[in-house]
Structure 1
Amino acid sequence: MTSPVIHRVTTLDFAVRPMAWPFAEERRAEIAAHFAEKQRERPKLWNGRILLGRDPVFSSGRFTATYFETDFASFLAWRDWGFPDKAVFNGFGMGALRASDGAFIMGEMAQHTATAGRIYFPSGTPDLDDVRDGVLDIPGSVVRELAEETGLTSVDYVAEPDWHCVVTGPSIAMMQVLNLDMPGEAARARIETNLAREAEPELSAIYLVRGMSDLTPTMPRFVTAFIEQQFASR
């Protein structure tokens, strides 16, 4: 895998436009069969509409790209088959929760999700609910996903202005540090209380990362690259 590259920007500029995806059209039957198999493994998987990106450009503190709509089944096949269309990327926002004592807070994805067992910051593949007047609203996506996964809302944290865009091959994770006014253990307890109220939470466990020794193989490379940079700058 290509070594991660981290771009620090202040502006995200993503137009959403109608676009045919040859991969999805040409391999539709294979994609449908693949998704049916995945649904047998995890019946809660839903073939909703999501957004993927093309033509990423980083310049003068700005990240620009074009996003297009497709179905989750096509995205899942593209991911599971080793990203055969190299012109497409999965670009998503992540809320990098940081407690007042410096601990970063992550969640383990529950077994019914498509990324079961992976540990990372609250996030989600952008979908049509994140589009505003033809533009993809990644900051709004981060707020929404954070509330859905942890119960925390924008009154609970202060967002830093910069975005740390971690490029790892076909994935671009746009991370915004969100500073909580509470220590790590208190934040974890509050999130766990919220999870306990849900019938089927997206997260199965909450982890605190205070140093490099807390990183695990179940954390994606874009997460560990970001953490490495954060702790190196302290």
Structure 2
Amino acid sequence: MSDGFTLTRIEGVTARLVPFAWEWARDNAALISENWRRRCAARSGLFDGRVLLARSCRLEGAFCSVELFETSYASFITHKDLGSPDPTVLNAFAAIAPHGSDGAVLLGVMGAHTANAGQAYFPCGTPDLDDVRDGDTVDLAGSAEREFVEETGMALPADAQNQWLLLCGKSQAAFLRPVTFPNQANALRQDMERHRLTEIEPELAGFVTVASSDEIDLQSMPDFVQAYLRYAFPSSSASASSNG
């Protein structure tokens, strides 16, 4: 696949929490502290909680296994801001990719008070300690559904597909579960917006629909979202070329 990502269809993902001393974070403690100070000065309300990053991601047949370790959000965001200089560490996360019955995809736009203000991507979050079950099992699939329900107010359809796509590249491992809803995308967006307006401090500023790869916004949509949208909506010119 293009865009610097590989795309693999998988049936599921298993993840576990492992002890790991992240040397890059230790060696760059002063840089992390200064970057966090700068970010907090730009946007008040940021919280340096504990998050989970991946030290390995392995395909095993139709499934993928991930080993995650605990670190500070400040370390994670600094590593991301610097272009992920430690190639041994991945930002691994899971998300529901919602489609309307008309095929269009819905994205949430991050609010101005968040670390990723203005970016448009699937409702999701970086895994954290709330996703750990039974000691060391990390429920990535459950995290994806929980984040989706919290941010959109919508439950998944009873017959929702449970197939996954792994988009891997640019120091990311995005586990995406495409789910098609019975209503068209614009109706879904209106329902999601009504839920957002009931929240006291909504994380999202709104929602957008995308029905074509021509609607990709290079400025607001992260690389993994652009890669998924090009997969979901092959351009007519590319289709014509491939058909000769």
In structure 1, how many angstroms separate the alpha carbons of the residues matched to 2:176 and 2:61? 18
In structure 2, how many angstroms separate the alpha carbons of the residues matched to 1:104 and 1:88? 29
Counterpart for residue 195 of structure 1: 196
Percent same amino acid among aligned pairs?
A: 34
Check whether the contact 1:3–1:168 (CA below 8 A) recurs between aligned residues.
Answer: yes
Q: CA-to-partner distance for each residue in 1:189-227, whole Å, 9 max, x for gaps?
A: 111111111222111121111112221111112112112
Gaps of 5+ in 1: none
Corresponding residue to 2:152 among 150, 153, 175 = 150
Counterpart for residue 25 of structure 2: 24
Counterpart for residue 12 of structure 1: 13
In structure 2, how many angstroms separate the alpha carbons of the residues matched to 1:68 and 1:161? 26
* Residues 47 and 158 of structure 1, relative CA distance in 2, 3 Å threshold: farther
Counterpart for residue 35 of structure 2: 34
Gaps of 5+ in 2: 240-244
* Cα shift at 1:232: 3.5
In structure 1, how many angstroms separate the alpha carbons of the residues matched to 2:105 and 2:166? 17
Counterpart for residue 72 of structure 2: 71
Amino acid at match of 1:68: F
* Cα shift at 1:179: 1.9
Asked if 1:162 is matched to 2:126, the reply is no
Counterpart for residue 105 of structure 1: 106
Extract structure 1 runs of 4+ deviating beyond 6 A. Answer: none
Corresponding residue to 2:141 among 139, 142, 153 = 139
* Residues 2 and 231 of structure 1, relative CA distance in 2, 3 Å threshold: closer
In structure 2, how many angstroms separate the alpha carbons of the residues matched to 1:42 and 1:160? 38
Counterpart for residue 60 of structure 1: 61
* Residues 158 and 41 of structure 1, relative CA distance in 2, 3 Å threshold: farther
Q: Which moved more, 1:108-117 or 1:144-153?
A: 144-153
* Cα shift at 1:2: 6.5
* Cα shift at 1:127: 0.4
* Cα shift at 1:49: 0.5
Q: Which moved more, 1:198-207 or 1:117-126?
A: 198-207
Check whether the contact 1:157–1:180 (CA below 8 A) recurs between aligned residues.
Answer: no
Amino acid at match of 1:35: W
Length-normalised TM-score, structure 2: 0.90
In structure 2, how many angstroms separate the alpha carbons of the residues matched to 1:194 and 1:115? 21
* Cα shift at 1:157: 6.1
Amino acid at match of 2:49: G
Counterpart for residue 47 of structure 1: 48
Q: CA RMSD of the aligned region, Å?
A: 1.8
* Residues 152 and 81 of structure 1, relative CA distance in 2, 3 Å threshold: same
Length-normalised TM-score, structure 1: 0.94
Amino acid at match of 1:55: S
* Cα shift at 1:83: 1.0
In structure 2, how many angstroms separate the alpha carbons of the residues matched to 1:211 and 1:60? 32
